[in-house]
Amino acid sequence: MRYIDARITLAGWEQFMADDHSAKRGASSLFERLKRADDPVFEQIDRNAKSLLQSALTRLDVVSREEFDAQTAVLKRTRERLEALEAQIAALDEALSATGQQGDL
């Protein structure tokens, strides 16, 4: 009875080792295929990864570099315009104050 049990256990171990070896061989061959850039599987994975990344970036509500640079330029022009208008208002206020003081004399 022990011999039969040992043989079954040994046969199971051999099957496990064979499965493990074939899994390693399969993973190795898949890796070799993926290293070659002309493989359609690699191209599909690449497209899927890019699509997933694009989807994630869309959900993060980020802007492109071009849009960021454009908005920075708009903000710079707006700030310059605001400073010019503030200077004009200050000059007009000063002129108004000067004419008001002359009228009091």
Domain residue limits, the chain: 64-105
- Per-residue confidence (pLDDT) for residue 55, from 0 to 100: 87
Q: Find out whether 45 and 34 touch, Cβ atoms under 8 Å.
A: yes
Helix spans in the chain (H): 2-35, 40-59, 65-104
Contact 57, 51 (CB under 8 A): no
The whole-model pTM stands at 0.43
Give pLDDT tens digits along the chain (105 positions).
444 444 445 455 455 445 555 656 656 666 666 666 566 777 788 889 899 988 887 888 778 899 999 999 999 999 999 999 999 999 999 999 988 777 665
Give the pLDDT of residue 19.
Answer: 52
pLDDT of residue 7: 46
